[in-house]
Amino acid sequence: MSIGSYRSYLKQEALIADDDFEWALTCRRALHRIPELGFDLPRTRAFVAEALTKLDFNVDERAYGQSGLVASIEGPEPGPTIMLRADMDALPIEEVADREGRSTIPGNSHACGHDGHMAIALTVGRILARQRQSLAGRLVLCFQPSEEPGGGALAMIRDGVLERYNPAQCYGLHLWSELQTGQLAVTEKALFASCDKLSWTIKGSGGHGAIPHLAHDTVGALAQLIQANYHLVAREVDAQEAAVISIGQLAAGSIHNVIPEMISAGGTLRTESPSSRAFILERLKEIAEAIGRQFKVSISLEASGSIPACISAPSAVANVRSAAAGSLSGVCDANVDYSTLAGEDMAEFLLRVPGCYFLVGCGNADRGIIAPHHTSEFDLDEDALAIGASVLASSILNAIRE
């Protein structure tokens, strides 16, 4: 097994050792071969549970959120509980055929890097387990299902994981291929956006395409609605605040010369702040009603599948920054200014528990690792596992000592 060049990214005093890194590689490669989806994660869960048992963690028998897995270790002295969350699910994307160690489950692959997140959490577990005798507090590893379709974090929370463990802080990271290995993005601002799934239904009498004046024009209403919604974001939201609406789904009519009685449209709203989200949702409803009146059709709007923006607590951000400064060598840049309007349901934990979620670069142009997340070519530079594990282990130890 190759140990690679991970040491060049780290200072001598970084917490990870060569055998920790080997463990990270072994875990990541094993998990990479068995990518499972959503809440249906039997093989992944079994692998993680076995690894945690080897590390002498207390593995909770309850399956929080159907298939979530939680395990803990504590030191001899009492102290705060710090949670580390990693997501477990893969995507229904066929991985490129000619890759060594590729997925063995047809049609599925770890095309978002969650195999790496699990490997990092297991490596942090290994590092802290070794230091157990000097711990004053408890580490809880929280392996979450269904991040991609969404709902996994909330399912675990509804099943009582936060009440049961009462963490003082919660940490996590996403490996990010748009950033190069050695780059970290840590911010007090929203790292990921809020997401709302928007569904419009337009209903009217429809009619013959030749005599629209006798019809209620659902298609005309739709055209106006799309324009007005896009205009709302461009002209009514502070240009300094990131927000976007995209409509990506339309179902209307079955023949060219009939104005349909019903149209459905689906879209997504992303924002960085709770106030602009609330404002836009309110205005979208007003716009739908006004256009409905204008065209004499009914327009209903439903927002569902919502997740809040992913915002870290300033004190935890400072902790991660200082852990990065203490762990990373001069070739690294731990202050990359980056955020995305993608969504991430770690936000549900950070809404309830102060903590920090950050991005660790895993792209490496020199090694040809350039494919974006959620594509069949996606891969990660495994050196990033060492960076993520070192910074997280150091952040968590600091948090336990606080």
Give the footprint of Zn ion on this chain (CB under 5 A). 112
Say if CB 276 and CB 193 are below 8 A apart. no
CB of 327 to Zn ion, least distance (A): 23
CB of 106 to Zn ion, least distance (A): 20
Helix ranges (H only) for 97-254 are 114-130, 152-158, 161-165, 218-236
Residue whose beta carbon is closest to Zn ion: 112
Shortest distance, position 174 Cβ to Zn ion, whole Å: 6
With CA atoms as reference, report the closest residue to 96 among 378, 380, 382.
378
Helices and strands (DSSP H and E) totals, the chain: 10, 15
With b for 16 or more beta-carbon neighbours within 10 A and e for fewer, the 221-231 pattern comes to: bbebbbebbee
Nearest approach, Cβ of 148 to Zn ion (angstroms)? 5
Whichever of 112 and 324 has its CB closer to Zn ion, that residue is: 112
**Residue whose CB is less far from Zn ion, 110 or 216:** 110
Are the C-beta atoms of 71 and 60 separated by less than 8 Å?
yes
Q: Token pair for residue 323?
A: 């852990």
Q: 218 or 340, CB closer to Zn ion?
A: 340
CB nearer to Zn ion: give 169 or 177.
177
Rounded to the nearest whole angstrom, what is the least distance from the CB of residue 147 to Zn ion in the complex? Answer: 6
Nearer to Zn ion, 24 or 112 (CB): 112
Residue of 312, 310, 324, 334 whose CA lies nearest to 398: 324
Angle of the 114-130 helix axis to the 18-32 helix axis, nearest 10:
150
Q: How far is it, in rounded angstroms, from Cα 68 to Cα 66?
A: 6
**C-alpha gyration radius of the chain:** 24
Closest approach, Cβ 357 to Zn ion, in A, equals: 11
User: Residue 29: which H helix or E strand, with range?
Assistant: helix 18-32
Comparing C-alpha atoms, which of 55, 31, 33 is closest to residue 44?
A: 31
Task: Please identify, using beta-carbon distances, which residue of 112 and 140 lies nearer to Zn ion.
Answer: 112
Nearest distance from C-beta of residue 373 to Zn ion, angstroms = 5
| Residue whose C-alpha is closest to residue 183's, from 15, 388, 394 | 388
* Residue (117 or 203) nearer to Zn ion, CB: 117
C-beta of 112 vs 242, nearer to Zn ion: 112
Angle, vertex CA 374, rays to CA 370 and CA 380, nearest 5:
40
Helices (H), ranges, 72-113: none
Return the C-alpha torsion angle 154, 158, 162, 164, nearest 10: -150
Exposed, middle or buried, 44 (CB in 10 Å: 0-12/13-18/19+)?
buried
Q: Measured from the CB of residue 192, what is the shortest distance to Zn ion in angstroms? A: 10
User: Closest separation between CB of residue 114 and Zn ion, Å?
Assistant: 6
| Smallest separation (angstroms) from Zn ion to the CB of 175 | 8
Nearest residue (CB) to Zn ion, 115 versus 196? 115
Indicate the residue among 196 and 345 with the shorter CB distance to Zn ion. 345
* Run of H or E including 170: strand 169-180
